[in-house]
Amino acid sequence: MKSYISKIFIGAALFSMTGLVSCVGDLDQLPNDPNSITSGNFGEDPQKYLSEVMAKCYSSLAVSGQGGPNGGSDISGLDGGTSNWSRVIFMLNEFTTDEVTWIWPDVGVFDLCTGTWGSSNGVLQGAYGRLYTHIAVCNDFIRSVNDGTFTIDAQTKPLADQFVLEARALRALSYYYVIDFFGNAVRAWDDMKYGEVPPQTTRAELFRLVTDDLEDVLANFKESGVYGRVGKDGVEALLCRYYLNAEVFTGTPMYDKCWQHAENIIKRHKGSGFQGSGLAKDYLALFCANNDKFAPGGSLQDQNEILWTIPYEYPYTESYGGTMFFIAAATSAASMPTVLYGLNADWSCMHAREQFADKFNFTGGVSADGRTYLWCTEKQGFTKENDEFTVFTSGYAAIKYTNVKADENGMLRRNTYVDSERGFTFNWAGIGEVNGLPAQTQEFASSDFPIIRLADVYLMAAECSLRGAGEKEKEKGLEYVNYLRSRAGVDAWVKDQFTLDNLLDERSRELYWENVRRTDLIRFNKFTGSSYTWAWKNNMRNGGAIPEYMNLFPLPSDVVATYGSNMKQNPGY
């Protein structure tokens, strides 16, 4: 299935001729030359060329540009590795929370980890640039198909129409984070003329624009089950996320819409997989090197839990973002045998905050929750407490993503490796071991990054059932949560345990490091203020309050300066 990867990057290489390299100051500008998006003779093979140009809309999520893992980035101002799409989202949606911190004093990153960011933060500027550059790429593709820039014959028309639907869905994905992070941002859409400066609009107006468009995409979407591309489940799951957060984004709750879309997805998946839920049978296998098995078009469609994925396959995708980032940052050769995780890289820079670890009820460094099986704790020389901000072992190593492989049934082998030099035992998972170790390690990861999983859909439905639904819906919601708890090997909840506060913790346990935590905390009114604090929040060892205006990030100061009086900064910055 991963042969599709090569198509993505052939297309990306061709698209590098477009010149869509942006800096923060002009990243909102639309290209001035409509002919710049074509290369060669499109009419010679329209289906082939259309696919290759469309590939840039996808590859922009996986790699930073055309120059390898750290060069030729599509944006400037932030190095290619750091500015990877999923990595900048992680830094904004996870570093800012109780789940994780980064121990190195990198400029911009430290401010995110301590809740002390401002409008000149370089990571925020890079995130804004990355998201709007991806939006611009999608807009260019949509416009070029619709306005006749591409010569589309009758035979190619169905493919072109399908690709336009996919490009609109991809655009909506990046807009989700724009709306979440920045609020009143700019409206860059395919109906605008080349060279036109997109106007700033309200958060609610952007929400309506994108969700209306995404509903139309869903109504016309027929493709499903093509590996590496967004399918109907992915589109509908993204709508669930929009509606789940509608009250934050617009002031109007839309939990009924979220519930209905979630139920549609669940009905399509129920009847197979773990306990007939459609979920994968092995949680950690969802984050391993051959997790494409669980994606649309994968070999285990009875366990099609990954609804939308970013494909990675070494050596075709070499990136310091994506799953490479998640694996390397959480491991250290000085503290553990990194070969256990199938990667020849260790950065020693990212560990769990103690409040997050507490959610798993560790005793003596051991938790009954199978989602922590690969974590390194006191048993491997780590402490739960984060007393030393810059020390890797001052906090558990929350290992979730690996570059080892599951077997043909989607199961990871559990085993124990004894490190006689350190005097520790380590858990690891995988097949094809040699002398107790994984048979192969790589320079870059081949594990796909799951954008949205069926598990999240179950949890979104469960939350909606608690926010105003009837007793029948609450019974379903409790059933949905208990699928996940049962798979994790922990006790099922009874009715009295099914509360919003407990559900927020369960979302953290199930979805940690999947780019949702900050959004969740804001929706539950626990991100700002002092009602919930964590280690180093507001740069205080035991945590402190941060002001309510920090529920939104600032618009980058360079962008505001470029727009002048035509752009208003978010309050408080």
68 to each of 62, 84, 446, how far by Cα in Å?
Answer: 12, 12, 15
Rg of the chain over Cα atoms, rounded to whole angstroms, equals: 23
- Preceding peptide of 31 cis, ω within 30°: no
Q: Give the side-chain half-sphere CA count within 13 A for 39.
A: 12
- How far is 383 from 54, CA to CA, in rounded Å? 47
Can you give the residue range of the structural domain that contains 364?
A: 323-444
**Secondary structure letter of residue 184 according to DSSP:** S
pLDDT band at 338 (very low <50, low <70, confident <90, very high): confident
- How far is 365 from 380, CA to CA, in rounded Å? 9
Amino acid at site 144: S
Q: Has residue 94 got a pLDDT over 80?
A: yes
Round the average pLDDT of the chain to a whole number and report it: 91
Are 217 and 169 spatial neighbours (Cβ–Cβ below 8 Å)?
Answer: yes
Q: Where are the alpha helices (DSSP H) in 65-156?
A: 85-93, 109-114, 122-146
pLDDT at 333: 92
> Is residue 504 in a domain?
no
100 by DSSP, 3-state: which? Answer: strand
Question: Which of 363, 365, 326 has the alpha carbon at shortest distance from 347?
Answer: 326
pLDDT at 5: 54
161: tokens are 């129409």
Q: Has residue 32 got a pLDDT over 60?
A: no
pLDDT band at 47 (very low <50, low <70, confident <90, very high): confident
Tell me the pLDDT tens digit for each residue of 128-141: 999 999 999 999 99
Q: Which residues have a Cβ under 8 Å from the Cβ of 479 and sit 6 or more positions away?
A: none
Tell me the pLDDT tens digit for each residue of 513-555: 999 999 999 999 999 999 999 999 999 999 999 999 999 999 9
> Is residue 329 in a domain?
yes
pLDDT band at 71 (very low <50, low <70, confident <90, very high): low
Q: Has residue 353 got a pLDDT over 90?
A: yes
288: tokens are 């391993």
pLDDT at 471: 78
Q: 272-286, 413-427, 435-449: which has the minimum mean pLDDT?
A: 435-449
573 to each of 26, 97, 113, 269, 455, how far by Cα in Å?
Answer: 21, 20, 18, 45, 36
pLDDT at 530: 96
411: tokens are 């199961």
**Secondary structure letter of residue 19 according to DSSP:** -
Q: Which residues have a Cβ under 8 Å from the Cβ of 335 and sit 6 or more positions away?
A: 348, 376, 380, 381, 382, 392, 393, 397
Tell me the pLDDT tens digit for each residue of 195-209: 899 999 999 999 999
Question: Which of 343, 330, 444, 325 has the alpha carbon at shortest distance from 380?
Answer: 330
> Is residue 149 in a domain?
no
> Is residue 408 in a domain?
yes
338 to each of 163, 290, 419, how far by Cα in Å?
Answer: 40, 19, 12
Percentage of residues in the chain having pLDDT higher than 90: 76
* Residue whose token pair is 């906090």: 395
Number of structural domains in the chain: 1
* Residue whose token pair is 């309506």: 208
> Is residue 489 in a domain?
no
Q: In DSSP terms, which residues pair with 30 in a beta bridge?
A: none
> Is residue 169 in a domain?
no
pLDDT band at 414 (very low <50, low <70, confident <90, very high): confident
Instruction: State the Cα angle at 436 between 431 and 438, rounded to 5°.
Output: 45
Are 318 and 69 spatial neighbours (Cβ–Cβ below 8 Å)?
Answer: yes
Amino acid at site 243: Y
> Is residue 138 in a domain?
no
Question: Which of 74, 58, 62 has the alpha carbon at shortest distance from 16?
Answer: 74
> Is residue 533 in a domain?
no
Percentage of residues in the chain having pLDDT higher than 70: 90
Are 28 and 188 spatial neighbours (Cβ–Cβ below 8 Å)?
Answer: yes
Number of helices (H), then strands (E), in the chain: 17, 8
Question: Which of 57, 81, 513 has the alpha carbon at shortest distance from 319?
Answer: 81
Q: Which is it for strands 100-102 and 350-352: parallel, antiparallel or unpaired?
A: antiparallel
